[in-house]
Chains A and B, each alone.
Chain A
Amino acid sequence: ETGVTQTPRHLVMGMTNKKSLKCEQHLGHNAMYWYKQSAKKPLELMFVYSLEERVENNSVPSRFSPECPNSSHLFLHLHTLQPEDSALYLCASSQAWTADNEKLFFGSGTQLSVL
């Protein structure tokens, strides 16, 4: 398997549920990202991990909790979400968290619906 893989592809959860999104990259990259994509809105950066250390946290509510156990895996733990959190959640990776991070490689995303 190559590239960036995200699971699950679709997720429906209630406001009181706890779930986790998983991302795995097979590219040997050192930086991993979580983005949120909502209809009619630009891509919003949520978190950045470089060499397993969080380097960017874009004022994301605490009901979203990232985890990066190693440079190949990234998780987004979800709890007590709100309906407005329904969106496509994209994972991405790049060679490094440097000035030349244009080569972002994205997964196919998890389409999340919060009821």
Chain B
Amino acid sequence: EDQVTQSPEALRLQEGESSSLNCSYTVSGLRGLFWYRQDPGKGPEFLFTLYSAGEEKEKERLKATLTKKESFLHITAPKPEDSATYLCAVQAIPGNTPLVFGKGTRLSVIA
């Protein structure tokens, strides 16, 4: 059974304090790994897709990396507006299979 585990469950950072969120996954064959951001009272918003080990993608203060067992979302010098829940999801091979989501990491950045 495909599984996604995210850690920590919650993370509190001071503004400017860099850190990483972890997403460990178990899947028969990985089609893609996805990161979403969810603000309170809103639906998730797509951030990145990673397809193969060693791949990295960046967007502003966020960088996502992928290995064969896990993905990290690195947050460099975070700002209060980065506060949100970050969701990780995997899609297995073959295609046309639903995404399997983790429970998310709730990030709070304090000014």
Query: Known: A43-B101, A97-B96. Contact between A90 and B34, CB under 8 A?
Result: no
Main secondary structure of the interface of A (DSSP, over half): loop
Q: Which of B70-111 contact A (CB under 8 A)?
A: 87, 89, 91, 94-96, 98-104
Q: How far is the CB of A58 from chain B (nearest CB, A)?
A: 8
Residue contact B96 to A42, C-beta cutoff 8 Å: no
B4 — nearest CB in chain A belongs to which residue?
Answer: A42
CB–CB B101/A99 < 8 A = no
Tell which of A4, A43, A98, A103 has the most Cβ of chain B within 10 Å: A43
What 1/0 flags go to A29-54 for Cβ under 8 Å of B? 00000000000111101001000000
Give Cα distance in the complex from A106 to B4, angstroms.
20
Q: Does A84 contact B (CB under 8 A)?
A: no
A99 touches B31 (CB 8 A): yes
**Number of inter-chain CB pairs below 8 Å:** 59
Number of chain A residues close to chain B: CB under 8 A: 26
- Kindly state whether residue A107 has any CB partner on chain B within 8 Å: yes
Write the nearest CB–CB distance from B29 to chain A, whole angstroms. 12
**B55: Cβ under 8 A from any A Cβ:** no
Are A92 and B46 within 8 A (Cβ)? no
* Contact mask for chain A residues 50-78; partner B; CB cutoff 8 A; 1 contact, 0 none: 00000110100000000000000000000
The answer to whether A107 touches B43 (Cβ under 8 A) is: yes
Question: Which residue of chain B lies nearest to A92 when distances are taken between CB atoms in the complex?
Answer: B43
In angstroms, Cα B43 to Cα A101, docked, is 17
Which of B22-77 touch A at CB < 8 Å? 31-32, 34, 36, 41-46, 49
Can you name 10 extra interface pairs (CB under 8 A) apart from A42-B102, A98-B95?
A: A40-B103, A42-B4, A42-B100, A42-B104, A45-B98, A48-B98, A56-B98, A100-B95, A102-B46, A103-B46
